[in-house]
Structure 1
Amino acid sequence: MIQNDTLRNSLNFILFQSGWFVCVLYPGLPAAGFVALLLAFHLALVSQHRFVELQFIGAGTVLGGVLDGIWFQTGILDDGSGSVQLTPVWLVGIWAIFMTTLSHSLSWIGSKPWLPFVCAPVAGPFAYWSASKLGAVELPDMPLSLIALAFGWLVVFPALLYLRKFLYPELIR
């Protein structure tokens, strides 16, 4: 395990960005497998509370996967096939690798109570919009999709930080 906080946060950021780009550029089961490998590196080199963090990652991945599933079911997101589906496995992978950032490279967002409410409704939809521009997902009705994503992230991101604070306090630095 890496002892230096800056190095751990930097590696966490690199692992997340690598996972996000692989999942978006090559959406599918192999991308999710790549994320599993990145999670193993994260747990081995970055995490200081592996078992607790793995629980937190799992809880957030389920929550995020359900939220994305709702967006697919309601037409906020589309995979381009036109059929209603469950959350694609590569998008579940993005949730898993994203969850690692909440206790490391993005932990600073929880330092001010108002900050998640400002950052999340902008950054969340931006990630989906970026993925749509790279061809991984479609936003069928761009304005409606972005508004729904902003509202969803306004709720889910602070909820994840709340979950971390009260159920997994050892992950807060």
Structure 2
Amino acid sequence: MKSWGNLLGYEIVWFAAVIGAGRGSALPGCLGAAAFMALQIRVSRQRVADLRLVGIALLCGLIVDGGLSGLGWAHYAAAGLSVPPGVPLWILALWVAFAMTLNHSMAWLGGRPGWACALGALGGPLAYWGASRGWQAVFFEPPAARATIWLAVGWGIALPLLAGLAARWSAADGSHRISPGDAR
């Protein structure tokens, strides 16, 4: 059951971030991600691996979202607090929160790079489109297909990388990996 709580916690952070950004504030996403990370670190059996994943996920976010912004293919709401190359803090907060799912609700992807690639390539762009259409947290410059392709490629690479590192680092810790079917 912990994995379902982890997934629900991430979804709450996602909604707080995109709704907050759509309303001009990065604060709900940043605070939500900080609280989620603190809680997950507190209950995690893979603290070191989780923290390492946060660092790599932030680098992925700087590349994927920084490239998208730097190319001028997307503009983010609530971008007042941004890290070069134009990545708002609320987006980076989402990457941090996402990293906290990789050893928990998303642990099943660790040994499945094909599934991770497919999920990243499909789910990544869909999440951005949801943020764009539902809450105007992201705006895609026409033609929007190029931003969608960028996100599909970026997330199609980032998710298998992150999931593979999660599996490797958790195994190195000797930690038990929680799968979605675990009732713990």
Q: TM-score range by the shorter chain?
A: 0.7 to 0.9
Structure in which a larger fraction of residues adopt strand: 2
Do the aligned residues in 2 keep the contact of 1:15 with 1:42 (CA within 8 Å)? no
Do the aligned residues in 2 keep the contact of 1:19 with 1:97 (CA within 8 Å)? yes
Supply the AA of the counterpart residue of 2:154: G
Q: Percent identity?
A: 27
- In structure 2, list runs of 5 or more residues that go unmatched: 178-184
In structure 2, the residue matched to 1:35 is 33
Given the alignment of the two structures, is residue 153 of structure 1 paired with residue 155 of structure 2, yes or no?
yes
Structure in which a larger fraction of residues adopt helix: 1
CA distance in 1, matches of 2:78, 2:123: 26
Equivalent pairs counted in the alignment come to 166
In structure 2, the residue matched to 1:93 is 93
- The DSSP-based 3-state class of the residue aligned with 2:75 is coil
In structure 1, the residue matched to 2:66 is 69
In structure 1, the residue matched to 2:122 is 122
In structure 2, the residue matched to 1:4 is none
Do the aligned residues in 1 keep the contact of 2:57 with 2:95 (CA within 8 Å)? yes
- In structure 1, list runs of 5 or more residues that go unmatched: 1-6
Supply the AA of the counterpart residue of 2:29: A
Q: TM-score, normalised by structure 2?
A: 0.80
CA distance in 2, matches of 1:80, 1:89: 11
Supply the AA of the counterpart residue of 1:12: N
CA distance in 2, matches of 1:105, 1:75: 33
Q: TM-score, normalised by structure 1?
A: 0.84
**Deviation digits for residues 116-167 of structure 1 (CA, Å, limit 9, x no counterpart):** 1222110110011111112111121321111111111111111212332444
Structure 1 segments, 4+ long, off by >6 Å, are: 81-84
Deviation at 1:81, TM superposition (A): 8.9
| Higher RCO by CA contacts (8 Å cutoff, separation 6 or greater) | 2
CA distance in 1, matches of 2:18, 2:74: 14
Do the aligned residues in 2 keep the contact of 1:43 with 1:50 (CA within 8 Å)? yes
RMSD over aligned CA atoms reads 2.4
Do the aligned residues in 2 keep the contact of 1:76 with 1:148 (CA within 8 Å)? no
